[in-house]
Amino acid sequence: AQSVAQPEDQVNVAEGNPLTVKCTYSVSGNPYLFWYVQYPNRGLQFLLKYITGDNLVKGSYGFEAEFNKSQTSFHLKKPSALVSDSALYFCAVRDREAAGNKLTFGGGTRVLVKP
Partner 1 sequence: KAGVTQTPRYLIKTRGQQVTLSCSPISGHRSVSWYQQTPGQGLQFLFEYFSETQRNKGNFPGRFSGRQFSNSRSEMNVSTLELGDSALYLCASSLGLAGGTSTDTQYFGPGTRLTVL
**Residue 77 is a binding residue for partner 1 (CB under 8 A):** no
Judge whether 64 and 18 are in contact, CB under 8 Å.
Answer: no
Question: Which residue in 51, 56, 83, 112 binds partner 1 (CB under 8 A)?
Answer: 51
**Residue 49 is a binding residue for partner 1 (CB under 8 A):** yes
**Residue 83 is a binding residue for partner 1 (CB under 8 A):** no
Q: What x/- string results for residues 4 through 43 when contact with partner 1 is judged by CB under 8 A?
A: ----------------------------x-x-x----xxx
Judge whether 29 and 9 are in contact, CB under 8 Å.
Answer: no
CA 41 from chain centre, in angstroms, equals 20
Question: How far is residue 21's CA from residue 75's CA, in Å, rounded to a whole number?
Answer: 6
